[in-house]
């Protein structure tokens, strides 16, 4: 019989930690979330969620009102003699050599390692290199369970509450099962594995997605060269259930806080293990070339050089539905254009404030004013329905580079604009 109400500590309140904490509270568990940022903890405690994640705000406030979700400063304050599972949701950024930097994970374990009650388990949600759970075992007096998350930014709450699978892994299978039982109400297939396999599932899945995207981005470029249309090509590919329809959309390159970091980390793991993972390395290189290709298309739209050219950017976040700029291809492309002497005005519905080298504006029409070329870099749906006649009047040039294949080319043509999408017959 699975006990429904459990006492849980979650360390780290980024989009993974906060989603985990708020969703586990929604499932009826008692959750204490800890962060080292006192200001953030204070705001969360008053129900203010700064991450743009649909449904998260509501769940946090529901948990606070119900009294089964709390926020505290510091990991040690999240642990009590009743804690049954402590989740590690702290960042594991890319270190200088491409490997995952585990300092945050290690520092939390050093703090709480000998405070955890017996019968408790530590669950790692942070993406950690294969072998980490076993390697860190000596730092705590309880089992470590790898429990990777498969949450996409922008749909993290929905992904948490409707998972494809729950993966838990540990040398202590009984502890792994206990962590898996926390999700019993979600009725997803649960895989109880050894720790290394569970850790590997996460990397193998994210890197597969990155390889898939690099492949489709290269196919899009090839379509341009041979006169095929990538939308039709990917439709034909996607109907094969072994390939599937999702993750087949070409773009300015994949980014965000996960795929770039995880591909580099797995490459590093492979190197350490003596395997030349050329396929993965080449997917990473293709992603760099994809951004260079977009920059080249923008140069062409500006008659060969962007020096002194005014360029309007629509979208900066690494994908729509988030306000996350981490490893966003849009930022890489904008910075390269600035370095070449372009004058950039950018608009993103989820980004306000200031960004170095460019003018950030609240109104998309302001972003396109006087532009030689306009570039769509994030697939925000509202860009589709812009008044393109008005855009054409405001622009100085007439090319719109649509890196997300978002817009309706006919709408743009009617407004007298030239639509350029990667791999599309324009």
Give min distance, CB of 9 to ligand UGA, in A. Answer: 20
Residue 410 assigned as binding residue: no
Intra-chain end-to-end CA distance of the chain, in Å: 60
**Separation of alpha carbons 19 and 246, rounded Å:** 24
**Separation of alpha carbons 186 and 201, rounded Å:** 20
Nearer to ligand UGA, 79 or 317 (CB): 317
Give the burial string for 21-49 (b: 16+ CB within 10 Å, else e).
bbbbbbbebbbbbbbbeeebbeebbeeeb
Give min distance, CB of 231 to ligand UGA, in A. Answer: 12
**Separation of alpha carbons 31 and 301, rounded Å:** 53
* Contact status, residue 376 vs residue 401, Cβ threshold 8 Å: yes
Residue 83 assigned as binding residue: no
Nearer to ligand UGA, 6 or 297 (CB): 297
* Contact status, residue 376 vs residue 395, Cβ threshold 8 Å: no
Specify whether 33 is catalytic. no
Nearer to ligand UGA, 83 or 99 (CB): 99
Residue count of the chain: 426
Nearer to ligand UGA, 33 or 265 (CB): 265
Q: 169 has which bridge partners?
A: 146, 193
**Separation of alpha carbons 23 and 283, rounded Å:** 34
- Annotated catalytic residue: which of 89, 258, 302, 426? 258
Residue 261 assigned as binding residue: yes
Residue 208 assigned as binding residue: no
Give min distance, CB of 335 to ligand UGA, in A. Answer: 16
Residue 416 assigned as binding residue: no
Q: 88 has which bridge partners?
A: 11, 124
| Alpha-carbon distance values, 208 to 162, 211, 308, 414 (Å) | 21, 5, 40, 40
Residue 255 assigned as binding residue: yes
Give min distance, CB of 187 to ligand UGA, in A. Answer: 20
Question: Site residues (CB under 6 A) for ligand UGA?
Answer: 127, 149-153, 206, 209, 213, 247-249, 251, 254-256, 258-259, 318-319
Give min distance, CB of 33 to ligand UGA, in A. Answer: 18
Nearer to ligand UGA, 247 or 277 (CB): 247
Binding residues for substrate: 150-153, 202, 247-251, 255, 319
Please list the active-site residues.
Answer: 258
Binding residues: 35, 40, 92, 127, 150-153, 202, 247-251, 255, 261, 319, 326
Binding residues for NAD(+): 35, 40, 92, 127, 153, 261, 326
């Amino acid at each position: 019989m699975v006990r429904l109400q459990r006492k849980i500590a979650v360390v780290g309140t980024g989009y993974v930690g906060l989603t985990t904490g708020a969703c586990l509270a929604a499932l009826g568990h008692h959750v204490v979330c800890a962060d080292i940022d006192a200001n953030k903890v204070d705001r969360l405690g008053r129900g203010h969620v700064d991450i743009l994640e649909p449904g998260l705000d509501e769940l946090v406030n529901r948990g606070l009102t119900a009294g089964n979700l709390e926020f505290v400063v510091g990991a040690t304050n999240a642990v009590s003699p009743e804690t049954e599972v402590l989740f590690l949701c702290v960042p594991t950024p890319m270190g200088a050599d491409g490997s995952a930097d585990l300092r945050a994970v290690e520092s939390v374990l050093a703090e709480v390692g000998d405070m955890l009650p017996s019968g408790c388990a530590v669950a790692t949600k942070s993406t950690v290199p294969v072998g980490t759970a076993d390697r860190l075992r000596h730092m705590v007096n309880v089992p470590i369970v790898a429990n990777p998350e498969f949450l996409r930014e922008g749909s993290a709450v929905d992904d948490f509450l409707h998972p494809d699978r729950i993966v838990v892994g540990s040398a202590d299978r009984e502890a792994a099962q206990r962590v898996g039982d926390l999700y019993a109400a979600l009725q997803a297939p649960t895989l109880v594995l050894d720790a290394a396999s569970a850790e590997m599932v996460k990397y193998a899945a994210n890197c597969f997605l990155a390889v898939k995207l690099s492949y489709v981005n290269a196919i899009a470029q090839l379509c341009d060269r041979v006169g095929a249309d990538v939308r039709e090509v990917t439709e034909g590919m996607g109907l094969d259930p072994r390939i599937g329809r999702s993750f087949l959309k070409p773009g300015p390159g994949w980014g965000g806080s996960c795929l770039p970091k995880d591909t580099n980390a797995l490459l590093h793991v492979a190197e350490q293990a003596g395997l030349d993972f050329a396929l993965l390395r080449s997917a990473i290189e293709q992603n760099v070339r994809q951004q260079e290709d977009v920059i080249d298309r923008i140069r062409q739209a500006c008659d060969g050089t962007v020096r002194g050219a005014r360029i309007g950017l629509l979208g900066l976040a690494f994908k729509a539905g988030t306000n996350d700029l981490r490893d966003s291809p849009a930022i890489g492309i904008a910075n390269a254009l600035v370095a070449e002497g372009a004058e950039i005005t950018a608009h993103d519905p989820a980004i306000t404030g200031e960004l170095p080298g460019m003018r950030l504006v609240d109104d998309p029409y302001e972003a396109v004013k006087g532009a030689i070329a306009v570039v769509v870099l994030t697939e925000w749906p509202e860009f589709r329905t812009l008044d393109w006649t008005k855009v054409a009047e405001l622009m100085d040039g007439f090319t719109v580079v649509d890196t997300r294949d978002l817009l309706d080319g006919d709408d743009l043509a009617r407004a007298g604009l030239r639509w350029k999408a990667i791999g599309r017959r324009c």
